[in-house]
Amino acid sequence: MKLATMLMYDGNPRTAADTVSSYEKAGLDTVWVAEAYGFDSPTLMGYLAAKTETIEIGSAILNIYSRTPGALLQTAAGLDNVSGGRAILGLGASGPQVIEGFHGVPYRKPLARTAEIIDLVRRGLKREALTNEGEFHLPLTKERGAVTGLGKPLKLLTHPERDTIPIFIAALGEKSVEQAATIADGWIPHLFHPGKADLVWGESLARGAAKRQEGLGPLEIVANVMVAIGEGPETKQMLDFARPLFALYVGGMGAKGKNFYNDIAKAYGYEKEAEEIQDLYLSGKKREAEAAVPLEWLEAANLVGPESYVKERIAAFREAGVTNLSITPATADPVATIQQVKELVS
């Protein structure tokens, strides 16, 4: 099981990035860089490449709407070069609130767009010309709305560090998870509950695995968890630090009927709680929304408690198919926590 951490998109990412080199020395395998609608991810990933030597650097996620397939290819190839072959391209559809509310781009056909982009990036890394029969990518012909008709297909000008870069898809819906299991190297779910994941996504993963593209290895699965290892009630109280994140996604990432994370909470069996969290959050009562997040879910989705208990939880994630554990240390000494978890996952 690989060990990773996520650099979040709020606050000052440069400050967080300055800690990654010490995490690398502690045994961290991967750092994921979030984007959402804060600072862009590629700038920070390039900064990390210059400050580290061995750690993998992944985007989690770059959305598939605000950049063209060619731009995503350039980003993946450029990062892989400056990092010496340590790039991971994490892609996702994000959601209507970010795509339409921040980028001003119509949120349409996420599955088709994802498939087309991944195909183009993979072929582009092999320096094939960027042309296909899809609908989302230049070069344009006059029949497809070109102004000059001079847009002949081009291949990547520079030679990539590698002709294959791991591509992960962030997905929650049945069809998008099935797609990840079919065409991606890895899958990034969110708010992952190891005891209930199979209930929600088991059939989708099985359908995708049955038609998995030739040449791909086993699907990697990333789970994000908070970590606090220790005895006593004060350690368990650390779970409260996870409440704002759960409440934000279940309650605030989308309107009524258009919040994917709220749908997942209901699929886990937290129908009543999901409704309450959303109602409270959307009415501005964020603290009350945080308090409504089920303790059972927080306990299952994080690694908080005595070392023996945390070891049991790691086994549960492994049993659920998780291959990459992305941890957020909620401790005074994050480096020591990473070293401790590294021993537990080995």
Tokens of 220: 């990697």
Number of domains in the chain: 2
The candidate with the shortest Cα–Cα distance to 92, out of 16, 190, 6, is: 190
Residues 152-200 pLDDT 10s:
788 999 999 999 999 999 999 999 999 999 999 999 999 999 999 999 9
> Do strands 2-7 and 324-329 pair parallel, antiparallel, or not at all (unpaired)?
parallel
> Does 86 lie in the same domain as 28?
yes
- Specify the CATH number for the domain of residue 330: 3.20.20.30
Which of 286, 301, 316 is at the close of a domain? 301
Q: Which two tokens stand for residue 32?
A: 């994921």
pLDDT per residue as tens digits for the range 103-145: 999 999 999 999 999 999 999 999 998 876 677 765 666 666 6
32 and 114 inside one domain: yes
Please tell me whether residues 56 and 196 are part of one structural domain: yes
Residue identified by tokens 């299991």 is: 181
Residue of 84, 29, 30 whose CA lies nearest to 60: 30
**Looking at the structure, do residues 159 and 297 belong to the same domain, yes or no?**
no
Give the domain extent around 256: 232-301
pLDDT in tens, the chain (346 residues): 999 999 876 677 788 788 899 999 999 999 999 998 889 999 999 999 999 999 999 999 999 999 999 999 999 999 999 999 999 999 999 988 889 999 999 999 999 999 999 999 999 999 998 876 677 765 666 666 667 766 678 899 999 999 999 999 999 999 999 999 999 999 999 999 999 999 999 999 999 999 999 999 999 999 999 999 999 888 989 999 999 999 999 999 888 988 999 999 999 999 999 999 999 999 999 999 999 999 999 999 999 999 999 999 999 999 999 999 999 999 999 999 999 999 999 8
Co-location of 103 and 190 in the same domain: yes
Give the total residue count for the chain. 346
Amino acid occupying residue 124? G
Examine the domain organization and report whether 287 and 163 are in the same domain: no
pTM: 0.93
Instruction: Assess whether 187 and 312 both reside in one domain.
Output: yes
Give the Cβ contact number of residue 126 at 10 Å.
Answer: 11
Q: What is the pLDDT of residue 150?
A: 67
- φ/ψ (deg, to 5) at 47: -60, -45
Domain check: are 249 and 341 in the same one?
Answer: no
- The overall longest dimension of the chain from CA atoms, in Å, is 70
Concatenated DSSP letters for 95-118? Answer: -HHHHHHTS------HHHHHHHHH
Residues 259 and 174 in one domain: no
**Which tokens go with 206?**
């099985």
Residues 249, 335: one domain?
no
d(CA 79, CA 44): 10
* CB-based contact 56:29 (threshold 8 Å): yes
CA distance 304 to 130: 47
Can you give the C-alpha Rg of the chain in angstroms? 20
Question: Do 149 and 250 reside in the same domain of the chain?
Answer: no
Same domain (yes/no): 167, 180: yes
